[in-house]
Amino acid sequence: MAPKKKSQSWSSLKQSGNECFKTGQYGEATNFYNQAIKELEKAAQKNPEDLAILYSNRAASYLKEGNCTECVKDCTKSLELYPFNVKSLLRRAAAYEGLERYRLAYVDYKTALQVDCNIAAAHDGTNRMSKALTDVDGPSWREKLPPIPTVPLSVREKLNQQPAAPQQNNVTTKDTGPSEKDKKRAQTLKEEGNALVKKGEHRKAIEKYSQSIQLNPNEVTTYTNRALCFLSVKQYRDTVTDCERALNMDSSNIKALYRRAQAHKELQNLKSCIDDLNNLLKIEAKNAAALKLLQEVQKKKK
C-alpha cells in the first residue's frame, strides 16, 4: 500500500501563493490560498490574524482577475477577523469602485485614512469617489453616505506599528519617519513656498510645497499652505484633498476647516461648507471670517 501523501502546511501553501502572485499567476495564487485557508481552518490552534491575511491575499488575486464580487466577500471576512486592516480596506474599496458602489468605496477609503493619513491610494480613491458621487447624487451626496466607522486610537496605534526588518548580527531597526536632514530640507522648501505666496506666485509655491511634502509628509501647515494656493488658482478639489489630509492629522485645525469650507462653497457643496464652518465655530466661536462666510452661504442656500 502506497504511503499517504503528507499535506503541505498552510504557511508553505501561503508562500507558494505569494510567489505565484508576484509572477502574475493569479489563478494559481488563488488555488494555493484556497488550500492554505482550508489547512489553517482545520488546525487545532489558529491565529485569527493569520486567517485574515490569507483571505486578504486571496482577495488581492480576485481583484487582479477582475472578480470584484469575490474580492469584496474575502475582504469582508478578513476585516471580521482583523478589523481595520488597511490592505483589506483598500482592496475592498477598489472592488466596490469596480462594481460602481461608490458610496461604500468612499467609506472604506476614508476609514483607511483614519488608520494612516498618508496613504496616497486612499487619498486618490477618496477624490475619485467624491467626483463620481457628485455626478450621481449632486452636491448633497454626503447626506446619502453610510456611516463611516470611527477607528479607535488603540487600533490605529497597533496597526501603525510596522514590524522591524531583520538586520545582520540580530540588530533590528524600525522606520522612524523622515530623517533630520529631510526635515530641514522640507522646512527650507516650505519657507521658499511661503515667500512665493507673498509675491502672489501661487503655482510656483505649489511646486515648493509639493517637494516639501515628499520629504516630510507629516507637517500639517504645508498642506494648509498648499490648500491656500490651490484655492487661489481655483483648484478646489485639490484644496479639499489637502485640507482633509491636514484634518486627518489635526481634526481641530482652523485653517483646514475654513479653507475646505471655501472650496466646498465654490464647488456648490453648500451643506459640506456649512458643516465645516459650524465645526470651526465650535472650536473658535468668534471667528469673524467663518461667521461672515456662514451668513453668505446660508443666504445662498435659502
**Domain locations in the chain?**
10-157, 180-301
Q: Which CATH class is domain 10-157?
A: mainly alpha
Q: Which CATH class is domain 180-301?
A: mainly alpha
Do the beta carbons of residue 37 and residue 11 sit within 8 Å? no
* Measured distance CA(298)–CA(270) in Å, rounded: 8
* Measured distance CA(281)–CA(287) in Å, rounded: 7
* Measured distance CA(291)–CA(65) in Å, rounded: 52
Q: Using 50, 70 and 90 to split pLDDT, how confident is the model at 73?
A: very high
Which candidate, 118, 113, 95, places its Cα nearest to that of 149? 113
Q: What stretches of the chain adopt beta strand conformation (E)?
A: 165-166, 172-173
The CB density around residue 166, as the number of other CB atoms within 10 Å, is 9
Higher pLDDT, 172 or 225: 225
Q: Take residue 257 and report the three cell numbers written for it.
A: 476647516
Query: Do the two domains 10-157 and 180-301 of this chain adopt the same fold?
Result: yes
- Per-residue pLDDT of 98-129, as tens digits, reads 888 999 999 999 999 888 888 888 898 898 89
- Per-residue pLDDT of 235-287, as tens digits, reads 888 899 889 888 888 888 999 999 999 999 999 989 999 999 999 999 999 99
Q: Is 172's pLDDT higher than 80?
A: no
pLDDT value, residue 168: 33
How large a percentage of the chain has pLDDT more than 90?
Answer: 50
| Residue 288 one-letter amino acid | A
Angle formed by the axes of helices 180-198 and 202-215, nearest 10°: 170
Beta bridge partners of 165: 173
